Amino acid sequence: MYYTDVSGVVNSFNYGATANGALLPMNGLPGTRQLINQNYGVCIDMQPGFCSIAWDQTSDPYSFTVTGDTIGLSVDPGLPTGGVNGADCTTDFIVVPNALGLNSDRFCGNALPTVTSASKPFVLTVITDGDEVGDIGNRGFSLSYTQLPC
C-alpha cells in the first residue's frame, strides 16, 4: 500500500464494517475478518516540511482488533479493550518503527494508543499468521495517520 497525502485512513486488507455473511460471535455486530498469513508494508510518502507521523484508531470502536479475543475482552458490550505491545505480540501485529515515548515498536490486541514515529521512510508493517485459534471477532484495523510538521 502506498499513500501520498499528509493525512488519511489506512485499512488492513479485508477490513470492513459491513457483514460478509456472518456476524461476530456473541454480540451480533456485523463485520469482516482479518486475513491470515500476511506480511506487507503500508508506506506513506513523506511530504516536505513534515518530520514525523502519528497513527491512531478511527472512530469505529473495532478499528484495531488484531489479535486475541475481541469479544471476551469487552468491558461494555460491543466495545473492545486490551491493547498490547512488545514481546507479547508474536502472532498478529503491526510494527511502527521507533515509536516515540514507548518501549516497543510492536502493537497487537484490541486497542491502539496514539503512536508517533520519526523513523523515515514512514512505513507501518503488518504481520498475521495462519493460526486464528483464540482470535475471536478480529477485523484487522482502520487507522488514521497524520504527518506532523518539523
Per the structure, the count of domains in the chain is 1
Note the pLDDT of residue 41: 96
Type of residue found at 131: D
Q: How far apart, in whole angstroms, are the C-alpha atoms of residue 145 and residue 26?
A: 31
For the chain (150 residues), the mean pLDDT of every run of 10, in chain order, is 95 71 46 80 96 93 80 53 76 93 89 92 93 76 96
Comparing CA positions, the residue from 124, 141, 149 lying closest to residue 43 is: 124
Q: Which domain holds residue 31?
A: 2-149
Note the pLDDT of residue 14: 82
CATH code assigned at 133: 2.60.120.290
Q: How far apart, in whole angstroms, are the C-alpha atoms of residue 147 and residue 137?
A: 31
CA dihedral 60, 37, 14, 73 (to 10 degrees): -30
This prediction has a pTM of: 0.82
